[in-house]
Amino acid sequence: MGTGIVVGIEGTPAGRVALEWAFREGLLRGAPVTVVHAWGQPVGREVKRMSDVEAMRASSCMLVAAVAEAERAVGGKPEVIERSRRGAAAKVLVDEAADADLLVVGRAHHAGVVDVLGQSVSAECVRHANSPVVIVPGSPVPGPAVDVTDAAAIVGATLD
């Protein structure tokens, strides 16, 4: 038996959905959930560089807020361990999940096979994690409403 569920968050809607999924799964299994945020220095000329202390504080605040939001959305929470770690997201998550029963990550896009072949965090986790990995798709973006009584509208609609 492992150490429970590890979930990676990054402050995005996909991360929020993954965290809520992990909370529900943790409640069902009676397993603790370790919520991990990997942080590093942002890149780009227009980005103000934070000190490591500022970045770690921001990460810790984001973790607290995300856990509270997920608890409200789910209506409860399992035992929660919060971890803020500096480093590349995939490596940090794989390290944190070394002895876990499950690693949960969110994915904002729907690339499918292309994603697994690419260099995304979810793809790296699938390739390198010792534990099973659950990739939770982010919330679908609602499209325009389709009038099901209008044949022309149905023909022009796309299905996900």
CATH number for 9: 3.40.50.620
Domain count, the chain: 1
Each residue's pLDDT tens digit, 105-128 = 998 765 554 455 567 899 999 999
Which residues lie closer than 8 Å to 3 by C-beta, 6 or more apart? 32, 34, 99, 100, 101
Residue range(s) defining the domain that contains residue 74: 5-156
Residue 82: Cβ within 10 Å count: 17
Query: Higher confidence at residue 125 or residue 142?
Result: 125
> With bands split at pLDDT 50, 70 and 90, how would you rate the model's confidence at 135?
very high
**Model pLDDT, residue 40:** 84
β 133-137/102-107 pair status = parallel
Amino acid at 7: V
Confidence (pTM)? 0.80
Strand order, beta sheet including 102-107: 80-86, 33-39, 5-8, 102-107, 133-137
Each residue's pLDDT tens digit, 83-110 = 999 999 999 999 999 999 999 999 876 5
Lowest model confidence (mean pLDDT) among 16-25, 95-104, 146-155: 146-155
> With bands split at pLDDT 50, 70 and 90, how would you rate the model's confidence at 154?
very low
